[in-house]
Amino acid sequence: MKSLIQQQQDASLAAIKTASDAAALKEVRLHYLGKSGAISCLSEQMRTLSKEERPAIGQLLNQWRNSFTEVLEAKEKMLLDQADEASFASLDPSLPGTASWQGALHPLTLLTNRIVQIFRRLGFAIAEGPDIDDEWHCFDALNTPPDHPARQEQDTFYLPDGRLLRTHTSTVQIRAMEQTSPPLRIIAPGAAYRRDEIDATHLSQFTQMEVLCVGEGITLGDLKGTAEFFFRELFGPETECRFRPHFFPFTEPSFEIDVRVKPAFLASKCTPASFKAEFLKEEKWLELAGCGMVDPSVFEAVNQQRSDQAYDPEKISGFAFGFGLERLVMILTGISDIRMLSENDLRFLKRFAGEF
């Protein structure tokens, strides 16, 4: 039996050596290790041996199985490596690859993110409201009487059921105060809609940012400080702000904020030369935002809706301001036609991707 095992063992190792591919090697494995393979058959025959012979034969069989498996696995690995090498041989690593498309954020989204970061540092949270709102949130609660021109059909998009596309994000002032008691510090970025003729400076859907801060002892000084901080963060520390008296139904007193940006700051931005607009060359005042102290009648409308006195105008005050984001993107990028921001021409979008 011993010599039989030895013979078979030599034959099995030789068979591994001569197997030239994976299929042949599989055959060899089956022939020796399979259920009715040579090693199993000889193991079966151990039963016919005497007690004294068994241990030595058993040991021989084990050694055979171990060395067979080891040599077989080494050969399998070698064949795999050879196959890998063969498939790489036909590969030309100097060929140009296939470029993958990478998306990028729209300039308006980039600006929104930047503004959110600036206000977050001042403790403002983001608030939201629906694009389709009712007349009460868009006008009545904001002290805007029925005969106000903004309410006319030629200025606003009305739905058949009387609701409308909000004409400003000031609706979110009301919705935030309905839901939350003071103190309150929110910003609300979002779309606003007006029935404007579309031209180089007007879109019928544009983007606004609303800022509202309400609490005890909030003053005009807080409004000016916050607005100035914001515009200087955005346009550089030498930016000047001017508060020009104005009228809004929902703030008293009301102002428009004019901003004078240093051309040197804009030139330092990544403004492609082809988009340089004329304001890059000279300093001038740009009308960028509307603002004011929240009118007491707005607080009263909110209290009535909430059925409480959380926004008691005797104890509570606040400021609000709002501005259009398209105008700011136009200044930062130097483009002179607002339509570029909604046409989604890839040649334009690619120039600004990631550059704010």
Binding stretches for ligand PHE (CB under 6 A): 168, 170, 248, 251, 290-292, 320-322
Q: Hey, how many other C-beta atoms are within 10 angstroms of the C-beta on 28? A: 21
From first CA to last CA, the distance across the chain in angstroms is 84
Q: How far is the CB of 297 from ligand PHE (least distance, A)?
A: 14
Q: What is the DSSP letter of 182?
A: S
Specify the residue, 38 or 218, whose C-beta has the smaller distance to ligand PHE: 218
Distance CA 320, CA 188 (A): 11
Q: How far is the CB of 142 from ligand PHE (least distance, A)?
A: 8
Specify the residue, 8 or 170, whose C-beta has the smaller distance to ligand PHE: 170
Distance CA 229, CA 224 (A): 8
Q: How far is the CB of 170 from ligand PHE (least distance, A)?
A: 4
Specify the residue, 26 or 202, whose C-beta has the smaller distance to ligand PHE: 202
Specify the residue, 127 or 320, whose C-beta has the smaller distance to ligand PHE: 320
Burial of 124 (0-12, 13-18, 19+ CB in 10 A): buried
Length of the chain as a residue count? 356
Q: How far is the CB of 355 from ligand PHE (least distance, A)?
A: 28
Nearest position to ligand PHE, beta carbon:
322
Specify the residue, 182 or 322, whose C-beta has the smaller distance to ligand PHE: 322
Q: How far is the CB of 247 from ligand PHE (least distance, A)?
A: 10
Distance CA 297, CA 30 (A): 92
Q: How far is the CB of 353 from ligand PHE (least distance, A)?
A: 29
Distance CA 107, CA 101 (A): 18
Specify the residue, 57 or 111, whose C-beta has the smaller distance to ligand PHE: 111
Distance CA 219, CA 223 (A): 7
212 touches 176 (CB < 8 A): yes
Q: What is the DSSP letter of 151?
A: G
